[in-house]
Amino acid sequence: MDWNRLISMLTRMFLRKAVTKGISLVARRGKAVADLTPQDRKQARAARQMADKAQKAARLGRRFLR
């Protein structure tokens, strides 16, 4: 494997994790998990599910627009 492919793969892995963590943070509105009320947890779960659906739709869109 050449260096360009290796660096690209590592960059994609890092960015994927960073985006996932960022979406999770935004869904919780910047609060720590321990500080969430039951209502906040329910809302964060709904926001995370909506983000998952949006990511899935984006993947489908990229697949069909090739």
Angstrom CA distances, 63 to 17, 23, 28, stand at 21, 22, 30
Angstrom CA distances, 16 to 20, 22, 36, 54, stand at 6, 10, 25, 15
Domain count, the chain: 1
Domain assignment of residue 32, given as a range = 3-64
Angstrom CA distances, 1 to 4, 16, 28, 51, stand at 8, 21, 40, 34
% of residues, the chain, pLDDT over 70:
100
Q: Is pLDDT above 90 for 13?
A: yes
pLDDT band with cut points at 50, 70 and 90 for residue 7: very high
